[in-house]
A and B are shown apart, each in its own frame.
Chain A
Amino acid sequence: MNLPPTNRPAPNGLIRWFHQLGSPPYFDRFAARWAPWAHLLALLTMGIGLYGALFQVPADYQQGDSFRILYIHVPAAWMSMAIFALMGVYAAIALVWRIKLCEILAMACAPTGAAFTLVTLATGSIWGKPMWGTWWDWDPRLTTELILLFLYLGVMGLYAAIDDRRDAARAAGFLAIVGVALLPVIRWSVVWWNSLHQGQTIRLFGESSMDPSMVWPLLWMIVGTKLWFAGSLLNRARADNLRRETGKDWVAKLAGATP
């Protein structure tokens, strides 16, 4: 049967690529190809940042060398919040349009976000001991960041607790969307309450209260942690995609199974 020709224009390359990316085998090839590059670039970028942070930047006149912890603490803290926001966006798209890849990406955000939150809390605690004289204080900024870690763990736990992957992703995604409400509280906790934690000293857009000679390694670290996250997101999403598709022929072929 000959179908009548349609007047619909051919989709442009970007839209076609976006639709193709939703195909599990296509995404697997995409992630396997680009994740190593993202990690390699992240290592190079963070390598430059860490060299500057540890060997180039002068010690702080008050904090001495302990201020060098800032170069991992601040990028990790920003990533902990940015990843949660991104997870909320993916989860919302997945809930509204039922796009399976968005479910996978939302759930893949959680472990890396939890890792950055853990780094934030641990490095802050290690810095706090010599500077504040204590490892921990129930300060608004520290407490809200700890709640963020619990939210990440809640999302991961809920996703692992339900057998059906799609139901699990929907339930955990809902928790992620609700949890986004915590982000402004973390961001402005140092303004809204009396906080032991210092206020904002570094601004990407605007003048920082940090000396310019000390800022450049931080910028490299901020870019490096983002590239690292891109690589981790692709790796984790690929692993989940493979796990969901275990019974499919393309996975068996990829695994080298004999027909």
Chain B
Amino acid sequence: MNYREYVVAAYAVFAIVLLWDYVVPKLQARAALRAARLRATRAATRKAPPELQR
């Protein structure tokens, strides 16, 4: 194959960009769910009555 390095470079760019396009929204969704979990935990902690009431 002539111009092999150009063909390889072009296909590598394509693969890397598609990989980025796949991974980023997955990470964003995971971060949003983690934020929701932390928020729910904080809300539950605030609602819980103190252990000792004098």
Contacts and interface: CB of A to CB of B under 8 A. Distances in A.
Interface residues of A, number: 43
Interface string A83-127: 000000000000000000000000000011001101100110011
Contacts, number: 111
Contact of A39 (B2, B9, B22, B44): B22
Interface in A19-73: 39, 50, 54, 59, 64-66, 68-69, 72-73
Contacts of A258: 40-41, 44
Contacts of A112: 21
Contacts of A189: none
A257 B10 contact: no
A240 to B, nearest CB: 8
How many chain B residues sit at the interface, stated as a range, is 20 to 34
B32 to A, nearest CB: 4
Contacts of A259: 40, 44
B33 A251 contact: yes
B29 A257 contact: no
Contacts of A69: 6-7, 10-11
